[in-house]
Chains A and B, each alone.
Chain A
Amino acid sequence: MRARFGRAALCALLVVPIGCAQLERRRTEEVRRVADEVGQRTALVFPPKWAELGAHEPSPQAQALLADGLDDDEAIRVALLENRSIRAAFERLGVAAYDRVRAGLIANPLFSATVLLQDPFPDVELGVSQPLVDLFRRSLRMDLADVELDVARAAVLEHLVRVSSHVREATLACRAQLERARLAQETALAAREAEGLTIALHKAGNVTDLELSTRRRARALADLDSLEAQALVVERREDLLALLGLSNDPGFELTTRLELDQLPAAPAADLESRVLENSLGLAQLEARLRGAQARAGLPRSFNVLGNNSAVGIGAGKDDVVGSWGVGPILSVPIPIFDTGASMQSAARAEALAWLAERDGLVRDLASTTRRLAARQASLSERAALARSELLSLTRRVVIETLQQYNSMQIGAFDVLHERELELKHSRMALDLWEDAWRARIDLDQLRLGARPETHRPSRSMGG
């Protein structure tokens, strides 16, 4: 096939050059768009001004936040600034943004030249051709890139929501573990006092070796428990630091004071519809469905054209007469074997698959919403009951045990035993309190569009 004629200059005009400045603007626009949406979803002012990657120190903005302690919102802001996974997600958003720009570009025309050296004249053929399919499929390509960009945007948002939620959970876990460690220390103190008294009684010959050993063993157990609780304080702090993206602990305080008698409010009545409305997983599936539907809706001929079709101009020098000739070039596949039907069917099938997944997710989201709402309600009720009844009664029991002790009806060990039970019940109430707030955080995360992980372990349920 020889392309002999064409107007190369004309073809060059079709090319729209895209400068670097425009590309960067496009990326910035996308980032801002996501940031705005974060703002709408989380009421956080999100200034994406990152520090240099590889820098050891937090960004000046993060340092300013860290300087006088962090409440939960400030902690999330630090994470947005410093958490490298958020940074990576935004960079991936850049990838999708650039891809979208590239999808709008027309493929470059193809220049070909052939020279055959022979007598008397060399045979010369020159051609400029433009891939034909590219012209027809540009709009589809742009649609598909839009889909990818939508998916990427939703994914970044989902990641942001998830990290924010994890930060809240981590600060909650830090506070709860501190309290847990305090209770364990108090328990160890009671056990140590009981051991001390038993040692004195044993020395006086008033109690048996067995009583002493039993008491010492109880103290050792309490110490083990307390040491574990203290180790977990360090671990929970590290969990938080990792989420905040800090490479070392600048020693900030957590300033959000959630009182132990404060419990999450019941979720709003329209929660389920809000969850469906905001779901970022659903947004991704819907974008993908849109893409598949766009592909399935193309005429079959589009599929047949393939990448080998081209139109262009060719110029050639006749080897006999030595004169030049110019003419059009056209190359198209002949749809004998592949009529394009299978590709269309595949696109339709894919659309159906996405549709099914979307439907599944809608059902799953509704069920998850109800389950988490029920969990939060139940945990809140139990936490409130533990505080209003269990703890106040256990405190009464301690006081009344002390009265019996003062009346010399029972001994100091009975009092210390009741004290240990009081601390155990305090811990039970604390676990319920923490779980109630965790359920609330999960529910908030769900409402903001990111479905929480399933099968989350729960302390109060023996997890």
Chain B
Amino acid sequence: MSITGSTQRKVTMNSNRRQLLMAGSAVLSAGALARQSNTNATPAHNRTLSRDTDLAGLTPGQPGVDYRPVVTPNGAALPFKVIDGVKVFHLVAEEVDHEFARGLRAHCYGFNGRVHGPTIEALEGDRVRIYVTNRLKVPTSVHWHGILLPNGMDGVGGLTQRPIEPGETFRYEFPLLQHGTYMYHSHHDEMAQMAMGLMGLFVIHPRYPQGPRPDREYAFLLSEWKITVGSRRPDPNEMGDFNVLTLNARTAPGTEAIVARVGERVRLRIGNLSGMSHHPIHLHGHTFEVVATDGGTLPDTARWPEVTALVPTGSTRDFEFVADNPGDWPLHCHMTHHVMTQMGHGLPILDGVDPTLFDAALERAVPAYASMGAASGDGMSGHGQDADEAPAMSPPNSLAMVGMRGPFGFVTMGGMFTVLKVRGSLPEGRDVGWYQHPEGTVSMRADPKDLARDGIEL
């Protein structure tokens, strides 16, 4: 007996439930529910509810009571209300002037004024009704990526529904028969609309958690953009040369750091909806396990320790680790070009050549260059002092290719990069600042006495 069959039988016996359905939905009739056969195969590893559970009898999950809400760094949770036992959400697709980091904004697509859309959070067994209003100038639809639901709720424009025309509001409604980290995104002209940012996270907490519970959960959605330096709109036609790599649509140094107290169990829910790239996400100072995919929880026997795990595009991965190593630890994609920002290509190779030659030549031959104040002397041509601020010498609305300020100077990483700050104690509501290293634990220029003692000849 499948859970759906059981549900449907229960539902047909539950007059309240049926009235609700009859009153509220032309789409989800009892007959439609009867066609939820795709959920018959819902595997055990992404559900904690028995197949016989009467979903209608479950109370909608309350954040902070039934589950610990995830933190979406730089993001937000989508608010909801409960109407007759159904969690009602409202997504508004619209153009959003989005800031990727201070100094770089672009006209993107988002939901409810945010890029990406707010994180939808619910509890396994909840029934959700999600209204989608299209305030874009183009038709769209929303696909609930990885979620097991009736075919007509899958949100594929042209295939499972007609597209939502500008100005229209569509209703999606389905029970959440699983738990895990999922995503939602446009599934109409998806190449363009996803390149413009039309996506978000959908986190379903287990109704009955098993195993050790994380103390902190962070959710990240990875994506990639092409924003020509100095322009203000992502280029949806780009296929390979993406130059803005983001965590929750923010690029370092615009990414929020995440924190953990020493000894806390931390879960990172990471989804990837990049147009073309898979991202090997690397955490410093710790080993973690991938404990779940969007297919379900991995059995213990299928887990192994990692310091880097690939998050393929169109997938989610849940990482878990115990933050047992105090410090400021990078968490980033390990593809080196993905920790650059607005990287230019097609430049001459400068290695092997004194870089000051170039500035000197331009100063002699181009009066405008000399008047700009020109050379910074670091070979980065004016970049790197403060990546938080685009130098006046750069085009407006652009970011330095790499870099952010760190406690020891210049951090040559940007893009898909943030910092995990592990501390013995976390002061409430205060920036934890940079890690204070214990005496003698920071690498520095070698003492000649040490060199002599160890026989290092220079």
B212 at the interface (CB under 8 A from A): no
Chain B residues whose CB sits within 8 angstroms of the CB of A201 once the complex forms:
348-350, 353
Q: How far is the CA of A403 from the CA of B393 in the complex (A)?
A: 5
Min distance, Cβ B430 to any Cβ of chain A, angstroms: 35
Chain B residues whose CB sits within 8 angstroms of the CB of A405 once the complex forms:
362, 381
A22 at the interface (CB under 8 A from B): no
A410 at the interface (CB under 8 A from B): yes
Which residue of chain A lies nearest to B344 when distances are taken between CB atoms in the complex? A409
A50 at the interface (CB under 8 A from B): no
Chain B residues whose CB sits within 8 angstroms of the CB of A415 once the complex forms:
362, 366, 369
B391 at the interface (CB under 8 A from A): yes
Q: A192-210 CB contact bits vs B (8 Å, 1 = yes)?
A: 1110110011011111000
Stretch of A248-256, A278-286, A308-316, A393-401 at the chain-chain interface: A393-401
**B358 x A197 contact (CB < 8 A):** yes
Chain A residues whose CB sits within 8 angstroms of the CB of B380 once the complex forms:
408
Min distance, Cβ B226 to any Cβ of chain A, angstroms: 12
B347 at the interface (CB under 8 A from A): yes
Q: How far is the CA of A109 from the CA of B216 in the complex (A)?
A: 139
Q: How far is the CA of A201 from the CA of B348 in the complex (A)?
A: 8
**A402 x B369 contact (CB < 8 A):** yes
Min distance, Cβ B34 to any Cβ of chain A, angstroms: 58
**A416 x B230 contact (CB < 8 A):** no
Q: How far is the CA of A204 from the CA of B353 in the complex (A)?
A: 6
A145-190, CB < 8 A from B: 186, 189-190
Knowing A196-B361, A416-B366, say if A411 contacts B348 (CB, 8 Å).
Answer: yes
Min distance, Cβ A189 to any Cβ of chain B, angstroms: 5
> Which one of A206, A399, A403 lies within 8 Å of B351 (CB-CB)?
A206
Chain A residues whose CB sits within 8 angstroms of the CB of B347 once the complex forms:
408, 410-411
Knowing A197-B357, A416-B366, say if A406 contacts B352 (CB, 8 Å).
Answer: no
**B351 x A190 contact (CB < 8 A):** no
B395 at the interface (CB under 8 A from A): yes
A403-424, CB < 8 A from B: 403-413, 415-416, 419
Chain A residues whose CB sits within 8 angstroms of the CB of B230 once the complex forms:
400, 403-404, 407
Min distance, Cβ A417 to any Cβ of chain B, angstroms: 11
**A406 x B391 contact (CB < 8 A):** yes
Knowing A193-B361, A416-B365, say if A406 contacts B382 (CB, 8 Å).
Answer: yes
Chain B residues whose CB sits within 8 angstroms of the CB of A402 once the complex forms:
362, 366, 368-369, 372, 393
**A408 x B352 contact (CB < 8 A):** no
B394 at the interface (CB under 8 A from A): yes
Chain B residues whose CB sits within 8 angstroms of the CB of A408 once the complex forms:
343-344, 347, 380-381, 383, 401
Which residue of chain B lies nearest to A403 when distances are taken between CB atoms in the complex? B395
Q: B266-309 CB contact bits vs A (8 Å, 1 = yes)?
A: 00000000000000000000000000000000000000000000
Knowing A204-B351, A408-B347, A409-B229, say if A190 contacts B395 (CB, 8 Å).
Answer: no
**A407 x B364 contact (CB < 8 A):** no
Min distance, Cβ A56 to any Cβ of chain B, angstroms: 45
**B393 x A406 contact (CB < 8 A):** yes
Chain B residues whose CB sits within 8 angstroms of the CB of A410 once the complex forms:
344, 346-347
Q: B228-253 CB contact bits vs A (8 Å, 1 = yes)?
A: 01100000000000000000000000
**B365 x A403 contact (CB < 8 A):** no
**A189 x B229 contact (CB < 8 A):** no
A197, A203, A400, A403 pick with most chain B CB within 10 angstroms: A403
Chain B residues whose CB sits within 8 angstroms of the CB of A398 once the complex forms:
366, 368
Knowing A200-B354, A412-B358, say if A419 contacts B348 (CB, 8 Å).
Answer: no
Q: How far is the CA of A394 from the CA of B365 in the complex (A)?
A: 16
**B395 x A404 contact (CB < 8 A):** yes
Min distance, Cβ A246 to any Cβ of chain B, angstroms: 37
Min distance, Cβ B391 to any Cβ of chain A, angstroms: 7
Chain A residues whose CB sits within 8 angstroms of the CB of B372 once the complex forms:
399, 402, 406
Q: How far is the CA of A400 from the CA of B392 in the complex (A)?
A: 11
Min distance, Cβ B192 to any Cβ of chain A, angstroms: 24
Q: How far is the CA of A372 from the CA of B304 in the complex (A)?
A: 89
Q: How far is the CA of A402 from the CA of B393 in the complex (A)?
A: 8
Q: How far is the CA of A398 from the CA of B365 in the complex (A)?
A: 12
Residues on A facing B (Cβ under 8 Å): 186, 189-190, 192-194, 196-197, 200-201, 203-207, 395, 398-400, 402-413, 415-416, 419
Q: Which 3 A/B pairs are nearest by Cβ-Cβ distance?
A: A204-B352, A409-B344, A193-B361
Known A408-B380, A419-B365; 14 more pairs at CB < 8 Å: A204-B349, A206-B348, A206-B350, A206-B351, A402-B372, A402-B393, A403-B230, A406-B382, A407-B230, A407-B383, A407-B395, A410-B344, A412-B361, A415-B366
Q: List 16 A-B contacts (CB under 8 A).
A: A193-B364, A196-B361, A200-B354, A204-B353, A205-B352, A206-B348, A399-B368, A399-B372, A400-B230, A403-B394, A406-B381, A406-B383, A407-B401, A410-B344, A412-B361, A416-B365
